[in-house]
Amino acid sequence: MQNNFIAEYLAYRDLYLDIILESEQFIRAGPCETCRSAEAIFSCSTCTGDHGWCCPCMIKLHQSLPFHKIQLWIGKCFEDVTLADQGFIWYLGHGGESCPWYEASQLCDQEVDTLPHDTTLVTIVHSSGVFTHNIAWCHCQGSDSEQHLQLLRAGLFPASSTRPKTAFTFEVLDHFLIDALECKTSARSFFEKLTRLTNNAFQDTVPDRYRELMRVSRLWRDLKNRKWFGFGHNVESGPGPGDLALFCPSCPQPGINMPLLWEQKWLVMRRLVVDGNFTAQHMNMREPELDIFLSDGSGYMVTDAEYQAHLSSAMESKERSTCSNHRAVNAANANRSNLRATGVGATACARHGCFVPHSVVDFQKGERQVFFDLLYYSICEGIKHSGDRIDTSLVIYDVGCQWNLHFAERVDNCPALTLPDNVEIIAAVGKFHLSAHKLACFARYSLNFIVGAAQVDGEIMETLWAPFNKISPTARSMSQAHRQEILDDHMRNSNWKKLVGIIKTLLRKYKRADKGIDDTRIPFEDLTKSLDVNKVSLWESDEKQAMELRGEHLDIYHLRIDKAPTMAEIRLKLTETEYADTGKLGSVSWLIEGINLEDAQDALRVDIRQLPQDASATQKAVVAEKRQKLAVRISKYHEKTDAMTQGIELNSGTMPMDDIRFCTADTEELGQEVGDVEFTSEEIGDEVPAEVMGIWMPSSISHQDALALDLGALRSEELQLRQGQANDCLERLRQALGHKAIIYRQHFRSSDSTWVGTRSKQEAFRCRIKIDKCVRSYQRARDAMGRLGVDEETLRNVYQQIQPNQLTVNQEVTEENRYGQGSDRLAWFWRVNNGGDVHQDLWMDEFYRVNWLKAKARWQRWEEELNLVRHEMGWTVGWFRHKMGEWDKRYQQATRLGHQAYAQRQVLLWERFVLNAENSFKDKMIMVS
């Protein structure tokens, strides 16, 4: 569609260019269009339309337009000039008219050096550029005697309160704040833009007011915040902790958007997510004692003095990660002497992503400061924000399995850490980060198994940090107070954008929850109908106990699979009894060597497959040497075979046959072109290459022949070893698949450079090679078991065939909380006891038990989601009404007209929010007075 418009433009491009160039001429040359007596020599590039004026008329018409850009016609072209150069004076206090205090005189023709003596040349920064104007002050009785106040009443913010020589328009300050929030524009870049708008060719002629912009923007932001939050009306009390911060309109807040008492406690549970951002660093200041705070602790960052007091009492220890492979704890303990703060930690509402006021802390490195002590402060402040009427708090953090271990102890021992009485805290881990934890964490910290968690992924902080990473380089070298104001402002802006979009968000969640119930309820009911009633009753009892007691009781959501015996364990057992069983010593070692030779042949075949098509002589020589060494090993093995079989005439052994479906990874290494490599007869000789030689083992002959040759005991030993080999392969396969899944989720999605991405691909590629290797070894073991007489039922139910489609990244295992599992079945090798001594019905019961519990949990979470969203709609309307009521009260109490007007404007704003929410949520929300 866009290309169609561009194609249309091409047809008119030359005409457009002609029209633009023609506008450079003086279209209104001739008599002044206003007085019609003098010659027109001035035009204005800011005014709409084509105009031509004489100097007096131009100045008169622009008396209230001081930031228009004037052009002087010099005969052949226009030249940019300033209003001040043409005698323009900006009179303050009388709507642009001269102050009566001045003697009657008119200045249209006056030169700058003959202007009245009580004018001041002031540099004024506006959104369209930097201007210099002659300011005439008002001296009427009752007017402000201080010049900076006169500037302020004229809509100009003075850079100084004593003899101001620079001022900024309210408009340019508003533009800068919006640019900083939306575009992450630094003050330097913003002022460079204004400089170029003023004079793009000779930028050195423009007064540099960058430092003044840095300072004045801080003051303007402080005043705007106090105005927005009603402290221009409530002048008797200044803002307290978090009073200059917005919070979430949809979270339950007793006494604000819901009643003080509530029966269903799970509905009004605090749902908080905690996370650290180690990009938001702060450098050490040279003279921190000179720093001045404008809103310390009034926004989202905690009060500095109280926080520093907490840090001084922090316990002397260093936390190190014991479970998760994420770097949160270790990064906070990083030793960077040039940094005052290594990052920030924040608490936000988990469902809507709103930062909690007065809960954001700096991670400060020091001998006595530990990571979790810093984090605990943020958590406690976040929990206290909603008051003491909510009894339960769900706190989600990447390493939730660690931070809560000593939380209660730290709160008891540290005076700065306080919580409401009798508060219950449930620790959880976000669904993405949970995949990187050890297996024991899955059920105990999964959001899927927490009553009242509904459908929250616990990862919303990752989206909140993305904009902050763009401002972190700028804020890194600011003063501590300025950085705090900047971070507060961006968090306030983030919450405001969440608030503005909350109606659409809740409607989208409502639609999603409605569908989620339909998608999970029917599969759960169908699964329940197909199961034994007594078993379901037992599982329900286990589930109820797990939800009440939590902790290790939540392990009911894990598959209870006894670990199958490994090949090493079987070898030890057989070695202890080999003489009694076979009448020979060394038979187990001989059989193990045979299996190892098969693996060595497999490895050599991989090396050959990975040779490039134009393999060099050196590469071929390396393969030839490996062949020779392997051939010698096989020869020695067959010599021992004669001793084990007492000279019986044997066949040549089982020839290796690779399943090509599991050989593809060997030939797909990054940047390498491989193919069939030709070896000359001189390179391989006349003998059979070592990698395809037959390896004789008891499984190489039929069951009948083995009995006839009295080799039954050796076959029994090989069967047990082959079972151990298969068990080992399946265990390694599960590990490799889990590792591959974590690589895909953790590295590919978060890699922020080509180098990291390439390294992740290489790591995933090595996992694929390992997976294929495990499958080929398992196939050799399974084929051997078939030849050794294992019954078909065992091969069909215990040691099944592995299919390529079962080797994909397995979400069921590495992402147990994912939506959409329904009554899916795990790939068989995740859910069987490879020991083979448990009847099929037992592990199938176990499989269905876990799937039933998970299916029920999924359905329940979606039921909670719909119920919660409907209440959140009502809470949102209640919050908007509360804000409207606050401003209506301020309107009623205000005694000055301006204060009344602003309060009424706010009442209308929040009333519009109320009406919009009520109309959008009609027939959906649950509203409780």
Give the three-class secondary structure for 299.
coil
Domain match, 815 and 879 both: no
The length of the chain in residues reads 929
How does pLDDT run across 701-742, given as a tens digit for each residue?
Answer: 777 777 777 777 888 888 888 888 888 888 788 777 767 766
Of 426, 460, 479, the position where a domain reaches its end is 479
Domain match, 646 and 764 both: yes
How does pLDDT run across 660-690, given as a tens digit for each residue?
Answer: 787 876 666 544 444 455 555 455 555 788 8
Whole-number pLDDT of residue 674 = 45
Residue 237 clears pLDDT 70, i.e. is over it:
yes
Domain presence at residue 843: no
Whole-number pLDDT of residue 836 = 40
Which position has the higher pLDDT, 101 or 510? 510
* Residue given tokens 């989202």 in the structure block: 300
pTM of the model: 0.74
Domain presence at residue 521: yes
Residue 818 clears pLDDT 50, i.e. is over it:
no
Domain presence at residue 120: yes
Whole-number pLDDT of residue 666 = 63
- Cα 94 versus chain centre, distance: 54
Domain presence at residue 841: no
Cα dihedral 883, 889, 891, 894, rounded to 10, equals -130
Domain match, 205 and 350 both: no
* Residues 724, 418: Cα–Cα separation, whole Å: 56
Domain match, 686 and 793 both: yes
Domain match, 658 and 762 both: yes
Domain match, 603 and 532 both: no
* Residues 897, 371: Cα–Cα separation, whole Å: 51
Of 834, 869, 902, the position where a domain reaches its end is 834
* Residues 500, 498: Cα–Cα separation, whole Å: 6
Domain presence at residue 887: yes
Domain coverage including residue 625: 567-834
Question: Which residue type occupies 745?
Answer: R
Whole-number pLDDT of residue 821 = 42
How does pLDDT run across 770-817, given as a tens digit for each residue?
Answer: 888 899 999 999 998 888 888 887 787 778 898 888 887 645 444 444
Whole-number pLDDT of residue 273 = 95
Give the three-class secondary structure for 578.
helix
Which position has the higher pLDDT, 768 or 115? 768
Domain presence at residue 263: no
What are the two backbone dihedrals, phi and then psi, of residue 906, each rounded to the nearest 5 degrees?
-70, -35
Structure tokens at 249: 């309109």
Residue 837 clears pLDDT 80, i.e. is over it:
no
Domain presence at residue 802: yes
Domain match, 903 and 811 both: no
- Cα 784 versus chain centre, distance: 49
Domain match, 371 and 473 both: yes
* Residues 903, 888: Cα–Cα separation, whole Å: 7
Whole-number pLDDT of residue 792 = 83
Q: Are strands 119-126 and 30-31 parallel, antiparallel or unpaired?
A: unpaired
Question: Which residue type occupies 340?
Answer: R
Domain match, 341 and 456 both: yes
Ranges 361-365, 464-468, 590-594, most confident: 464-468
Domain match, 742 and 623 both: yes
Domain match, 829 and 909 both: no
How does pLDDT run across 274-287, given as a tens digit for each residue?
Answer: 999 999 999 999 99
In whole angstroms, how far apart are CA 802 and each of 109, 340, 602, 830? 97, 55, 18, 12
Of 834, 866, 890, the position where a domain reaches its end is 834
DSSP 449-512: GSTT--S--S-HHHHHHHHHHHHHHHHTTS-HHHHHHHHHHHHHHHHHHHHHTHHHHHHHHHHH
Residue 674 pairs with which residues in a beta bridge?
Answer: 612
Whole-number pLDDT of residue 148 = 95
How does pLDDT run across 296-335, given as a tens digit for each residue?
Answer: 999 999 999 998 888 877 655 445 555 644 455 555 555 5
**Dihedral of alpha carbons 128, 134, 137, 138, sign:** negative
Q: Mean pLDDT in the chain?
A: 84
DSSP 189-204: HHHHHHHHHH-SS-GG
Whole-number pLDDT of residue 652 = 64
Q: How confident is the model at residue 570 (pLDDT cuts 50, 70, 90)?
A: low
Task: State the total domains in the chain.
Answer: 4
Domain presence at residue 578: yes
CA-based nearest residue to 266, from 424, 110, 43, 50: 424
Domain match, 597 and 706 both: yes
How does pLDDT run across 53-81, given as a tens digit for each residue?
Answer: 999 999 999 999 999 999 999 999 999 99
* Residues 119, 910: Cα–Cα separation, whole Å: 45
